[in-house]
């Protein structure tokens, strides 16, 4: 049986970007052209993520900071596709990021987005991030993940750090900041709801041509959204 990602990627055409691929870039058909974007260079990724196979880290073509400058390097309606896989949970302002993904995508182009389903990850003990929280971050134009998010991550994933001496705890927290660990938490159903609420808020017309939940993929929400031409209803 063909992998669901491979099936979705075969629907893409032309040239686009992938953001935050690190050592797991999308396995795209060879006829597609892709440039890689990240907030850190390949060398910095080697230092921050020593557990990864550094030989598989992609070469970063464009250094970008989604939280502070979005995708300002790229013109509106310029990309045939944009891929954001297991990145949106790390950013400070997911709604603003979603707005940028669709801004640079051409009409009839595609935004491919994947997010971990907490029920299958180390985030399982954490509470779901409500849309009201995300909306507040968007309205306040938040550009930095607060330590409250990272403390919540540590309480659920590494509770042992809270019993360490203050200096060691400070280093642990700094390490979580540097690695930009998960700030926001969804399961597949709540992420699917987030997508529709956010697209509605942003008045973006888009159709989910592929949309799979964690019960189908085994670990993630995965979708391929087509940016509709004006006048085409979203579904």
- Number of other residues whose CB lies within 10 A of the CB of residue 151: 14
Q: pTM for this structure? A: 0.92
Looking at residue 93, what is its pLDDT?
98
| Average pLDDT estimate for 67-82 | 97
Q: What is the spatial distance between Cα 89 and Cα 221, in angstroms, rounded to a whole number?
A: 12
Cα(90)–Cα(87) distance, rounded to whole angstroms?
6
**pLDDT for 177-213, tens place per residue?**
999 999 999 999 999 999 999 999 999 999 999 999 9
Average pLDDT value over all residues in the chain? 94
User: 233 pLDDT exceeds 90?
Assistant: no
Confidence of residue 2 (pLDDT cuts 50, 70, 90): low
The confidence score (pLDDT) of residue 234 equals 47
Confidence of residue 235 (pLDDT cuts 50, 70, 90): very low
pLDDT tens per residue across span 126-151: 999 999 999 999 999 999 999 999 99
- Residue 52 confidence (pLDDT): 84
Give the pair of three-digit tokens for residue 115. Answer: 């997010």
Reading the block at residue 169, the tokens are 């705890």
pLDDT of the residue at 51: 87
């Amino acid at each position: 049986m063909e992998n669901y990602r491979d099936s979705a990627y075969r629907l893409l055409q032309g040239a686009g970007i992938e953001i935050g691929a690190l050592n797991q870039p999308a396995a795209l058909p060879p006829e597609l052209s892709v440039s890689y974007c990240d907030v850190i260079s390949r060398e910095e990724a080697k230092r921050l993520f020593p557990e990864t196979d550094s030989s598989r880290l992609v070469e970063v073509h464009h250094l970008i900071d989604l939280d502070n400058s979005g995708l300002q390097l790229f013109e509106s309606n310029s990309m045939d596709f944009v891929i954001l896989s297991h990145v949106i949970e790390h950013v400070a302002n997911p709604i603003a990021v979603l707005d940028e993904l669709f801004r640079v995508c051409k009409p009839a182009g595609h935004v491919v987005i994947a997010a971990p389903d907490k029920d299958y990850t180390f985030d399982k003990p954490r509470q779901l991030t409500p849309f009201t929280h995300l909306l507040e971050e968007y309205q306040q134009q938040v550009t930095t993940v607060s330590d409250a998010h990272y403390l919540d991550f540590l309480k659920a994933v590494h509770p042992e750090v809270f019993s360490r001496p203050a200096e060691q705890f400070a280093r642990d927290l700094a390490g979580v900041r540097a690695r930009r660990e998960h700030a926001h938490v969804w399961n597949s159903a709540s992420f699917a709801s987030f997508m529709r609420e956010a697209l509605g808020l942003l008045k973006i017309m888009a159709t989910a041509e592929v949309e799979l939940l964690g019960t189908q993929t085994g670990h993630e929400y995965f979708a391929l959204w087509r940016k509709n031409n004006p006048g085409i209803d979203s579904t």
